[in-house]
Structure 1
Amino acid sequence: MGRPSTTAAAPAALVPRHVVPLGGRGPEDVVADSRGRVLTGLEDGRIVRVEGLSDPARAEVRVVAETGGRPLGLEPLPDDALLVCDAERGLLRIGLDDGVVRVLADRVAGEPLRFCSNVVALSDGTVYFTVSSRSHPLAQWIGDLVEHTGTGRLLRLAPGETEPEVLLEGLQFANGLVPSADESFLVVAETGAFRLTRYWLTGPRAGQAETFLDDLPGQPDNLWRAPGGPIRVALAGPRVAALELLHRRGPTVRRAAARIAVRAPFRPPGTVGALAVDDEGRVLHHLEGRRARFRMVTSVCEAEGRLILGSIWERGLAVCDLPGEPH
């Protein structure tokens, strides 16, 4: 197929109704389980479950586990367990009833598995997950985006296996991951390339990758979808012309710029966004917040009839109206 892009009408406003504090920083990925309860991981290693988000007066935050590392992407499982991409410990499975943490994989092709980013499990039990960078750890994520290393990966862990298989390499900061509704392909967010990439799982193109949606209006981060719903894409920040010009320079210049970037003070820009996309790569809606008080939206899911925003920067979850509803 062709290369869809997001050129469309002006975006609608993305305005939080309220923010629910979590007692910790950095709810990088936010997901809803089959009962509509929201789960997220914090900078200090805690996994929390949040209920009552639509009414801040009755919101409840409960710690359900601690990874001992830095949890990023989450995937609820039908048996009340949770898959976790931990940037320090690798791919984990956590029992939400007892909080027991089990390491599923912490090495790939002989090297330590670091900077796992996002994970999905398909109906046959196969687990797919991303690694954002093999050059920079999470604490230096901005260095990878500046250097434009292209060391991101897509991996597969088959049921019963302990060694992941590398499916794709050379991705520009591989991040969010979601399957199509029929599980015939995966969509991977490449934050550093402003695009979504499709990886075919079945059919004549199985094992091949292609552009799914190009020229995004911001940096795509985590992806999420409810059964029967669209793919929701968090846009953590706007496109930056100077950064895109730098990406056209040689690797020596980019490495030097990256060394400066990881030492410089960082404050997220005030522009954030979210897209909803169908399985044909068509943009269903584009939401955008400018001069936003809730910055660096790294994830978005739907729960309790609202959009719930997560952020690796903030100390809470933002609650927004669904598109088309009054503010």
Structure 2
Amino acid sequence: MTVPRPPAPWLLRPVKLPATVPPELTGAWAPTDTRLDDVEVLPVPTGHGPEDVAVGAEGQIYSGTDDGHLWRWPADAHPGTTPDLLATTGGRPLGIEIDPRDGSLIVCDAYRGLLRVTDDGTVTDLAHRAGGTRILFCNNAAVARDGVVYFTDSSNRFPVSHWRRDLLEHRPNGRVLAFDPASGRVDVVAEGFHFPNGVALTPQEDALLLCETVAHRLVRVSLPDGAVRVLGDLPAYPDNMAPVGDGTYWIALASPRVALAEKLLPHPQLRRIAGILPTRLQPQPVPYSMAALVDGEGTVLRVLHGPAGRYVMATGVRQHGDTLWLGSLTEKAVARVSLS
């Protein structure tokens, strides 16, 4: 079964904003550790874009590709290991989390919505509507100890196939949702975000840390009231994030901020034109991945760089023991690197 792909609006509705300038990679962001240019890759058999990575209780690795497949590698996988095909969603799997109650996968499918996938490959739909509207761009999730799933709906206008248009429009089109497995209810936690993406729970589960890709910032969303506090402006575009378990979090950063895109902010008409140009003529991400470790207040503790672009558009990140796993929106493999 292939889930229908929703169309995207042809014309943008860009808002006029002041021009900004991407900050330099200095201080805590200085490229002193370039180990992301020396990652070990585990290819996917078909498709591309293993956008996120999750690690099971026994160390097995999960990821999903653009053809709707969910893949599983054994804990002792080496670069030549062929993963098992766990399931096919018919959509586009993005964020993947482990339900702490039973070890099943919670999958954000950009086209199908929020899913549960069990170890035998059974796929169950959990949520595809919230607040009276369709979930258009289910992206990343965090699962609480009681099974409540907090997840992002990145855009109410543009599906994943047209994510670049949402960046050019630069409007707060996204929201954060909560699915309660006990009741099946889906609530809107907060809305008005600029492409909300990676999300993670605090150890006390009294707040979420949230990455806004378009606004290149990290925010804290209090629970249950949804109050938002900005923790930091980032020099790159953040994507998925994952807790380490000690009150720190890894953030995958797909690209340093693009100077041309920020120069175009005061010019809505130019951005509207850029939105209908061929992709190759639009502002392009820089082939330079990063992964940043931050604490609960957004303080940067460590940054790994990949300036040579040997593994680009890093969108997923997960620490397991002394290994950092990476996913990518465009590569044909997941990657891992030692943290020691």
2:330 counterpart letter in structure 1 = W
Q: Is residue 212 of structure 1 aligned with residue 235 of structure 2? A: no
TM-score (norm 1): 0.88
Equivalent position to 2:329, from 307, 312, 316? 312
Give the 3 Å change call, closer, same or farther, for CA 56–266 of structure 1 in structure 2.
farther
Give the 3 Å change call, closer, same or farther, for CA 71–266 of structure 1 in structure 2.
farther
Residues 143, 262 of structure 1: 8 Å contact kept: no
- Alignment map for 1:60-209 (pairs within 5 Å): 60-78=82-100, 79-96=102-119, 98-201=120-223, 206-209=225-228
1:295 counterpart letter in structure 2 = V
Residues 44, 334 of structure 2: 8 Å contact kept: yes
Residues 98, 106 of structure 2: 8 Å contact kept: yes
TM-score (norm 2): 0.85
- Structure 2 counterpart of 1:275: 292
Give the 3 Å change call, closer, same or farther, for CA 259–164 of structure 1 in structure 2.
farther
- Deviation string 1:98-129 (CA, Å, 9 cap, x unpaired) is 21111111112332222100011101222110
Cα distance in 2, alignment partners of residues 305 and 160 from structure 1: 36
2:309 counterpart letter in structure 1 = A
Give the 3 Å change call, closer, same or farther, for CA 249–170 of structure 1 in structure 2.
farther
Residues 38, 51 of structure 1: 8 Å contact kept: yes
Cα distance in 2, alignment partners of residues 295 and 83 from structure 1: 25
Cα distance in 1, alignment partners of residues 260 and 220 from structure 2: 28
Q: Is residue 237 of structure 1 aligned with residue 260 of structure 2? A: no
Cα distance in 1, alignment partners of residues 283 and 27 from structure 2: 31
User: What is the CA-CA distance between 1:43 and the residue it aligns to?
Assistant: 0.9
- Structure 1 counterpart of 2:275: 258
Counterpart secondary structure, 1:189: strand
- Alignment map for 1:20-31 (pairs within 5 Å): 20-24=42-46, 25-31=48-54
Task: Provide the alpha-carbon RMSD of the alignment.
Answer: 2.2
Gaps of 5+ in 2: 1-24
Identity of paired residues, percent? 40
Give the 3 Å change call, closer, same or farther, for CA 89–261 of structure 1 in structure 2.
same
Counterpart secondary structure, 1:19: strand
1:297 counterpart letter in structure 2 = A
Number of residue pairs aligned between Structure 1 and Structure 2 = 312
Cα distance in 2, alignment partners of residues 313 and 53 from structure 1: 25
Give the 3 Å change call, closer, same or farther, for CA 223–196 of structure 1 in structure 2.
same
Gaps of 5+ in 1: 1-5
Cα distance in 1, alignment partners of residues 322 and 59 from structure 2: 9
Cα distance in 2, alignment partners of residues 54 and 66 from structure 1: 21
Cα distance in 2, alignment partners of residues 53 and 141 from structure 1: 35
- Alignment map for 1:285-300 (pairs within 5 Å): 285-300=302-317
Residues 49, 332 of structure 2: 8 Å contact kept: yes
User: What is the CA-CA distance between 1:41 and the residue it aligns to?
Assistant: 0.7
2:87 counterpart letter in structure 1 = A
Stretch moving more, 9-18 or 86-95:
9-18
Cα distance in 2, alignment partners of residues 304 and 239 from structure 1: 30
